[in-house]
Amino acid sequence: MPTPPFSPAEARAARLRLGMTPGQVAAAMAQLGVDRPPEAVHAWEAGTVPPSEPELLALADALWCPVAVLMGVRPGTLREHRLARGFTAERLALRIGMDPYAYARAEAEHRWPGTDHHTVLLADALGLATEDLVELLDRDGELVGLLRQAVEGRWKTHVAQLAHLAQADERRVARALRALHREYTRFDERYMGHLVARNDDARLREIAADRAAWLRALPDRFRSLTGTGGPDTVAY
């Protein structure tokens, strides 16, 4: 799973506001069930290593700070809205009465299988108007579809539409799509190379699984390359 958005500067500022040392932050996180050394806190604040989801949630609790502030971006995806509210995927799924595995797949694949009842409960849990949530889910699905078309075909024809959808500069989108198209092409080259060499099916299945995982993470990779999401923070 890709690491969540994180602002090292906001994390350090939050710690200094409380007058805590990295060791004290690590100790507070350990009490929350996330045992990390003080060096990890140093690394997060230095920006050399980003925290994972559990680490981010525990860090926010330890610093008495909204998760949204530590993320340093305005939430733009279902996952980011969930994190901004301090939910794990499992806890949010249980709150809206949805199978946790189905919810996790919805986030990973950017496709919403929930019923209208699930959607209403999800909007309430995330503090969004139902129509805003539906728009978010629809936009996410459209983004995934366009990105798939771009990396699998002629990426240049999708630059303007993706730039408009993501509200990003066309030049940055073009650079991102060029890089993503190259990454995707390498999967095809690897697969065809092993196919021509008549390697065993296990190796082909491994490459196919790697490609599937890459495609699931495609929207997050695109947002990372284009810097979309914006620098604004949202207070909850």
Q: Residue 14 sits in a domain of what CATH number?
A: 1.10.260.40
Q: What is the pLDDT of residues 164-207, one digit of tens each?
A: 887 788 999 999 999 999 888 887 777 666 555 555 667 667 77
pLDDT, residue 180, reads 92
Which of 58, 10, 25 is closest to 234 using CA atoms?
Answer: 10
Cα separation, 53 vs 59, whole angstroms: 10
**Is residue 11 assigned to a domain?**
yes
7: which 2 tokens? 């602002």
Q: Considering its fold, how many domains does the chain have in total?
A: 2
Q: What is the pLDDT of residues 82-129, one digit of tens each?
A: 999 999 999 999 999 999 999 998 888 778 888 999 999 999 999 999
**Is residue 49 assigned to a domain?**
yes
Which of 67, 74, 65 is closest to 51 using CA atoms?
Answer: 67
Cα separation, 191 vs 170, whole angstroms: 31
Collapsed DSSP state (helix, strand, coil) of residue 63: coil
pTM of the model: 0.69
If one compares 220 and 21, the residue with the highest pLDDT of the two is 21
**Is residue 157 assigned to a domain?**
yes
- Last residue within a domain, chosen from 27, 46, 72: 72
Q: Is the pLDDT of residue 45 over 80?
A: yes
**Is residue 80 assigned to a domain?**
no
Burial class (CB in 10 A: 0-12, 13-18, 19+), 175: middle
Structural domain containing residue 152: 145-226
- Last residue within a domain, chosen from 26, 46, 72: 72
**Is residue 129 assigned to a domain?**
no
